[in-house]
A = this chain, B = another copy of it.
Amino acid sequence: MKPSVGIRDVAQHAGVSNATVSNVLNRPDVVAPATRQRVLAAIEELGFVRNESARQLRAGRSRVIAYVVLDAANPFFTDVARGVEDAAREAGFALFLCNSASDAGREHDYLELLHEQRVEGILVTPVDGEGAQIAERGTPVVLVDRESADGTHCSVAVDDVLGGELAVTHLIENGHTRIAMVGGPLSIQQVRDRYEGAMRALTNAGLPQDALTLLETKGLQVAEGRGAGERLMGLPSSRRPTAAFCANDLLALGLLQSMTQQGLKVPDDLAVVGYDDIEFAAAAAVPLTSVRQPRDQLGRTAASLLLAENEPDHEHRHVKFQPELVVRASSAAKR
């Protein structure tokens, strides 16, 4: 249990110096085949496991990058993470996933730890608005699905304002004039942007600002969507919105669930549009209209920006993708 066999034990057992063992580990080609075999045998026999702390301390570099995700239970982020991991692997890095669970404290703790670990780079979808609190601390940081407020980091984002606009324009075109926006908290940049886009759609269509009611939620999970559904039901049907734009698909699915449960029909009684187009959106009780983001590309791009940070004269870049509306049954035209 506490054998703690080190490189010197291996060296001794194989009758060579530590330097040679280290060479076998890091530059196998430089050591004579016979010696290499002997060393490998010794490693095997003693059950030697290289101590990465020591290695990293001396060598100064790490072989991992990390992604601090806003909500590991949200398929959108795991899809992005998949893209990140694929790109990282190709470059020879491992990916550690950390879940801030939308909690600024956790996020802070993880970032602190990762900086201390001297990982090769950090990707983060920050809890707070512009990730302003994410200072420069020596380890490259790239913002994912957020635009860097002050340009101190690279960032990869999707145009959330446009996304909100697409969604609500679609609803307006389908004849809706009393629309609810479900999402929150507003401290989350994405939610703010999508809300702004929604408002812009109203303006474009010449509708009054109060055509859109904000139903703020405490989070972006399914349960919050169900809660919002119940709040909607509480309204007298004359004032109740005929359509809802949800800040993400989890909310939309929750909303959908609570509608069905209370005997209301989607889209007849309430049209619903989600955001992210996660895989489950299409499989929902009523297939969900949603705003699709290029998740995989988002992840891959983020990873490559991160890995480019160490290049000689690096300039921070800000990549922005376009979202796309995917229309399904949940928002069929109003009768």
B54 touches A113 (CB 8 A): no
Residues of B within 8 A of A73 (CB): 75, 78-79, 82
Instruction: Assess whether A137 is in contact with B47, with CB atoms less than 8 Å apart.
Output: yes
Is A292 in contact with chain B by the CB < 8 A criterion? no
User: Given B66, B82, B99, B280, which contacts A280 in the complex, CB threshold below 8 Å?
Assistant: B280
Decide if A213 is an interface residue (CB 8 Å cutoff): no
Contact across chains for B257 and A52 when beta carbons are under 8 A apart:
no
Partner of A222, one of B99, B253, B279: B279
Residues of B contacting A134 with CB < 8 Å?
A: none
Please tell me if A110 contacts chain B, counting CB pairs below 8 Å: yes
B contact residues around A78 at 8 Å (CB)? 72-73, 78
| Stretch of A90-98, A146-154, A162-170 at the chain-chain interface | A90-98
Complexed CA–CA distance, A106 and B85 (Å): 11
Q: Are B99 and A99 in contact (CB under 8 A)?
A: no
Chain B residues with Cβ under 8 A from A116's Cβ?
49-52, 55
Task: State how many copies of this chain the complex holds.
Answer: 2
A253 proximity list for chain B (CB < 8 A): 280, 283
CB A288 to nearest CB in B, in angstroms, measures 10
A257 — which chain B residues lie within 8 A by C-beta? 282-283
Of A56-64, A195-203, A319-327, the one with at least 4 CB within 8 A of chain B? A56-64
Q: Of residues 26 to 63 in A, which have CB atoms within 8 Å of B's CB atoms?
A: 47, 49-57, 63
Interface membership of A210, Cβ < 8 A: no
Interface residues of A toward B: which range? 35 or more
B3 touches A118 (CB 8 A): no
A135 to B113, CA, bound (A): 28
- Is A138 part of the binding interface, using a Cβ–Cβ cutoff of 8 Å? yes
Name which residue of chain B comes closest to A258, CB basis. Answer: B283
CA distance A31 to B81 in the complex (A): 43
A226 (CB) vs chain B CBs: closest residue: B283
Q: Which residue of B lies closest to A69 (CB)?
A: B97
Question: Which residues of A, 279-302, contact B by the 8 Å Cβ criterion?
Answer: 279-280, 282-287
CB of A115 within 8 A of chain B? yes
Which of the residues B52, B75, B82, B85 comes within 8 Å of A113, measured between beta carbons?
B52
Enumerate chain A interface residues (CB-CB to B < 8 A). Answer: 1-4, 47, 49-57, 63-64, 66, 72-73, 75, 78-79, 81-82, 85, 89, 94-99, 101, 106, 109-110, 113, 115-118, 137-138, 222, 253-254, 256-257, 279-280, 282-287
